[in-house]
Structure 1
């Protein structure tokens, strides 16, 4: 293959298979080529044509294709790559891997490979928690298989919820890049976030015994019952930080504005709508050792929200909206005298003069650290990558563009070191 990095992507038969199409596109954007094997069950959810169109070459499906066996072969297919990725990794595929079965192209390639394997489990919560799956996952851990996810949340089956949702494409992409870089364990923020059977993705817990409070997402400030003032925040960065803090051993409370992403596993999540609701939830969650204010809180709200929908009247001027300033959550917490967290961290989303504005905000708000980023036309808000500057009273540390999950991992490691130094 012409690309310097490549993966063999094995697509299992689960409803999450549709997410893999997005993963293939993102791999291509990162210069990572992908060959794909689609299982028979996987073909029930996505087509070989869709997979091959995105990957840019033929999608393989049949173990006994004479042309493929003469031209490529399952042995060469599994070894002419840098990494094998199974997504979604169904209970069936996991069981085959754990027991060494090889009765189709996917399982044969997995057994014949001499390369590393990363799996993204996806299944019903009861299947995930079944003792057989627990045993199989423990065996894969012993075999050195890397695991990303699963996440917790609502399932495709009506009324079902819990651990079993496949990790999101950006999370899998971050795990792939770590694996291709030669790391033997995934970073805590993107590694196993479920019940940790057999110690998957376990490691040092630098925040064990610490209480961490995090805000995430936007706030919605009502204009009338159907309209509101908001911003483009997706909550991806704040939620990733909450997941990383939990993986580092902290007891985490996440106060989230309205978002469409699932709650992080192992985190107490409080859902709010407005800035005033967010402040109340934050104050009720104190005391905390570390407070991280990643939410993009609306600066203003309408002074008096209309009780009914504002109607457009022919020939009439647009209604005047009288705005008032919202409470400053970061400054309020940083100024507390009795139960101020030892570390108060703010975020600064700027479109120009990023570092200068961050320094001014640090002094004005009275916090210990500002995480600043440039959101001017970069696709950061709602996107999956971020470029941040850590601004403190005596230093500015600039990080390269990274997946938001990796930003979260590094930030939590940085705060753990700050916390240890200050204790």
Structure 2
């Protein structure tokens, strides 16, 4: 933020006070809006209000509306179908694909120069929703200022319909562009500014500049989520473009979550601890995360949520791909848990990962590890309220344990992972 001195004109003491009050309201108010937190142990659920959820939002009564407001901290919403629901639900983040130009959209015909091209001039695509030799989304050229301006105007118009913010899809700071025949084949686009093959560094630079323009164009009270690729670069050092991308968002959405089948033990490229380290990186730069877990068994369900407890800072969200666990008529009680204030950060305990809260503890065994059995004493209960004195954790499983709330309770001595 740039600070401008007010010395070009003389002001009375009252005028100075008024200007200072306005300045602080804008600057500090914006920060407060972004930083408002609940206890790290209180689950904040992010619901996907897709077409499968229409039965619950199309004609709810007053009690049903209140239930959704109470249980869904935010919802992934879709304009224009959700527009009228903003009158009773104020936490909607509207879906926008950050650089897609849809094949059937009139802009694809009126502005073909906004579509990325290969060296032969062929149109390029986002490698998603492809089949039968066709993809549905052209890759919009975010290096083109006119395309960026068009997209930002669309986002501004969407927010004005009453949305809490935007959920930007395909925030890809690594290559995601190809032809419409094979989604696994990368094709390097031509940089429309240099007329040469675009470099990955310039891809990131243009994309980051675009995202910063989006952030600057919207009020600070508007929340922005980036559906990003956490492994877009090595975690050995911080990438300056990824750092800037994170700073332009309130949330970084992580599809698949901890249940991602590609995660393995430890700190390697695809390591579970590397994944958590990326989340630490996001927190360091002021954003929260949305863990959009893909687990489909009850064991994976607890493991996914336990991971969220390990990283929660009070402004993070959790989501599940399984609508039958999150719907109003089949809500899993675990998504209503409030373990209270965090007593520590995650740490290693008996070759497991652990974190303690005023009202419980979370213990997790990483992927590809030996089964661990540990005693936890006599004060804990599981999510269903059954007493637990010990836990037996196979690889990629976890235990979420509740106890009588006490912010001064004794927890094991430990050494933090950070």
Q: Normalization by structure 1: what TM-score?
A: 0.34
Greater RCO, 1 or 2 (C-alpha within 8 Å, sep 6+): 2
Give the alignment's TM-score, normalised by structure 2.
0.34
